[in-house]
C-alpha cells in the first residue's frame, strides 16, 4: 500500500474497474394513454415579523405562548409573583395587541385574548406562523 498518493491510485483503479463493468442501456419512453391534468394551487404565505406587530390588530398564534402579568419585573417579589401568575395562550388562540414598548432591546406587547390579558415578549413569538 502506498501512503502518499495511494488514495488517488485506489480511486483511479476503482474508476477504471467501474467503467469496464458499465453496461449501456437504451432509454425507454413510455406512452401515457390519457394525459392527466394536474391542477395547481397557489398558496401565498405571508410572514409576520414578531418585532413589528401593530397595535389594535388581532393575530392567531401557532403554538402555546406565555402571557406574563408584568413585562419586566424589577424585584424578587415581583419576579416570583409574575412566575406564579403566568398564563398561556393556546395554539390557534387569537391575541389582540393593546400596547407595545421596548426595553433593553426587547419588545413587549400588551395583549388580550378571550380570557387573559397580559404581556408577551416578542421572543416568544419568534418561529411562530402568526396569522392576521
Rg (C-alpha) for the chain, rounded Å, is 30
Run of H or E including 95: strand 94-103
C-alpha angle 82-48-111 in degrees, rounded to nearest 5 = 30
Q: How many CA atoms lie within 13 A of 13 on its CB side?
A: 6
Extract the residue ranges of the chain whose pLDDT is less than 70.
1-38, 40, 42-45
The pLDDT value recorded for residue 9 is 45
The pLDDT value recorded for residue 119 is 96
The pLDDT value recorded for residue 46 is 79
The pLDDT value recorded for residue 76 is 92
The pLDDT value recorded for residue 74 is 85
Q: List pLDDT tens digits, range 57-93.
A: 999 999 999 999 988 888 999 889 889 999 999 999 9
65-67/58-60 β-pairing: unpaired
Asked if 98 and 71 touch (Cβ cutoff 8 Å), the reply is: no
The pLDDT value recorded for residue 70 is 87
Instruction: Give the 3-state DSSP-derived string for 42-82, with helices as H, strands as E and coil as C.
Output: CCCCCCCCCCCCCCCCEEECCCCEEEECCCCCCCHHHHHHH
Please tell me the pTM assigned to this model: 0.64
Amino acid at each position: 500500500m502506498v501512503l502518499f498518493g495511494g488514495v488517488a491510485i485506489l480511486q483511479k483503479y476503482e474508476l477504471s474497474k467501474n467503467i469496464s463493468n458499465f453496461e449501456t442501456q437504451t432509454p425507454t419512453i413510455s406512452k401515457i394513454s390519457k394525459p392527466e391534468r394536474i391542477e395547481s394551487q397557489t398558496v401565498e404565505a405571508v410572514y409576520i415579523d414578531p418585532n413589528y406587530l401593530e397595535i389594535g390588530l388581532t393575530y392567531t398564534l401557532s403554538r402555546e405562548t406565555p402571557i406574563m402579568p408584568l413585562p419586566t419585573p424589577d424585584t424578587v417579589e415581583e419576579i416570583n409573583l409574575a412566575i406564579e401568575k403566568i398564563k398561556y395562550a393556546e395554539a390557534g388562540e387569537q391575541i389582540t395587541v393593546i400596547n407595545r414598548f421596548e426595553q433593553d432591546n426587547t419588545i413587549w406587547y400588551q395583549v388580550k385574548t378571550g380570557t387573559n390579558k397580559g404581556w408577551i415578549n416578542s421572543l416568544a413569538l419568534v418561529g411562530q406562523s402568526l396569522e392576521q
